[in-house]
């Protein structure tokens, strides 16, 4: 058995929030922690959650201590349980990021509802945006930020409600590859798991192995239908059960 890099989203992927249950989570935890001990497998959680919301989840669910934590949709990387974001990653995100300009432009959009302060991060500005108006508002806002103001930003819309504006060089996929190169894992020895829109970056960035859990949301399933690759596996089971299914499918365990 070889070590592999395990990168998983949390809500409705590793742990149940809205669909499924956590019945398979203890087994997955056991398999991963044993693999880490015996072979040096690395465990990474990658989530849209801020540090505050991650700590809440940690208190509610029985999850492992990861080797690295990717928070705020890829804009912050924490290594080995530290509380300080990795400066190497922050340096990659800094050039051309103008947080204040993003804030002043977005103020004009009535449809954008600012998320709580805990979710506003150094490299992320976040809003709630209702799905019904998203198809109209997002292209308009994107054009204004990118074309008119020439800002080096990216818009990530997820779960039919969360709109994140982040530096262009940042998302879950690029954060995952930063760690993959740092720890020298081949793409074939890397597996990413997700359920929703902000996870598409994990699947689309390269040819890492991918597990789409059985309860995946429409936006990710649509993307998977459009871009089917044999290194992506659509699980039948939900959440942790789907992840176990996929790890077995790829022969990683």
Span 7-36, contacts to Mg ion by CB under 5 A: 9, 11-13
Q: SS3 for 80? A: coil
Closer to Mg ion by CB, 32 or 200: give it.
Answer: 200
When computed from its CA atoms, the radius of gyration of the chain, rounded to whole angstroms, is 18
Number of amino acids touching Mg ion (CB under 5 A): 6
Interface pick for Mg ion out of 75, 196, 205, 247 (rule CB under 5 A)? 196
Check binding of 195 to Mg ion (CB under 5 A): yes
Nearest-angstrom CA–CA distance, 177 and 216: 22
Strands (E), the chain: 5-8, 42-46, 68-71, 76-79, 113-114, 125-128, 153-158, 162-167, 190-194, 209-212, 232-234
Residue 219 lies near Mg ion (rule: CB under 5 A): no
CB of 167 to Mg ion, least distance (A): 21
∠ CA 194-66-206, rounded to 5°: 40
Q: 11 or 76, CB closer to Mg ion?
A: 11
Q: Name which of 4, 181, 17, 165 is nearest 88 in CA terms.
A: 181
13 vs 115 by CB, closer to Mg ion: 13
Tokens matching residue 96: 């051309």
Which residue lies nearer to Mg ion by CB, 15 or 77? Answer: 15
Token couple for 227: 């871009």
Write the binding mask 133 to 172 for Mg ion: x where contact by CB under 5 A, - elsewhere.
----------------------------------------
- Among 6-14, 92-100, 203-211, 240-248, the segment contacting Mg ion (CB under 5 A): 6-14
User: How far is the C-alpha of 77 from the C-alpha of 87, rounded, in Å?
Assistant: 9
Among 1-9, 62-70, 97-105, 239-247, the segment contacting Mg ion (CB under 5 A): 1-9
Catalog residues that contact Mg ion under the rule CB under 5 A. 9, 11-13, 195-196
């Amino acid at each position: 058995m070889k070590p592999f890099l395990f990168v998983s989203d949390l809500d409705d992927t590793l742990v149940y929030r809205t669909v499924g249950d956590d019945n398979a989570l203890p087994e997955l935890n056991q398999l991963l922690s044993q693999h880490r001990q015996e072979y040096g497998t690395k465990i990474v959680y990658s989530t849209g959650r801020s540090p505050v919301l991650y700590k809440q989840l940690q208190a509610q669910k029985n999850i492992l201590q990861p080797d690295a934590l990717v928070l705020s949709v890829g804009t912050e990387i924490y290594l080995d349980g530290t509380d300080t974001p990795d400066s190497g990653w922050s340096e990659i995100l800094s050039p051309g990021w103008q947080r204040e300009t993003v804030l002043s432009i977005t103020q004009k959009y009535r449809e954008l509802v600012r998320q709580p302060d805990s979710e506003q991060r150094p490299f992320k500005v976040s809003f709630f945006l209702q799905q019904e108006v998203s198809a109209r508002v997002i292209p308009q806002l994107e054009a204004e930020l990118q074309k008119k103001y020439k800002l080096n930003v990216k818009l990530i819309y997820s779960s039919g409600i969360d709109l994140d504006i982040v530096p262009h060089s940042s998302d879950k996929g690029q954060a995952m590859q930063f760690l993959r190169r740092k720890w020298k894992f081949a793409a074939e020895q890397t597996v990413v798991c997700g359920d929703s829109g902000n996870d598409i970056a994990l699947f689309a960035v390269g040819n890492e192995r991918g597990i789409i859990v059985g309860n995946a949301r429409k936006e990710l399933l649509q993307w998977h239908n459009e871009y089917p690759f044999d290194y992506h596996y659509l699980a039948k089971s939900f959440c942790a059960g789907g992840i176990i299914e996929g790890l077995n499918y790829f022969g990683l365990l």
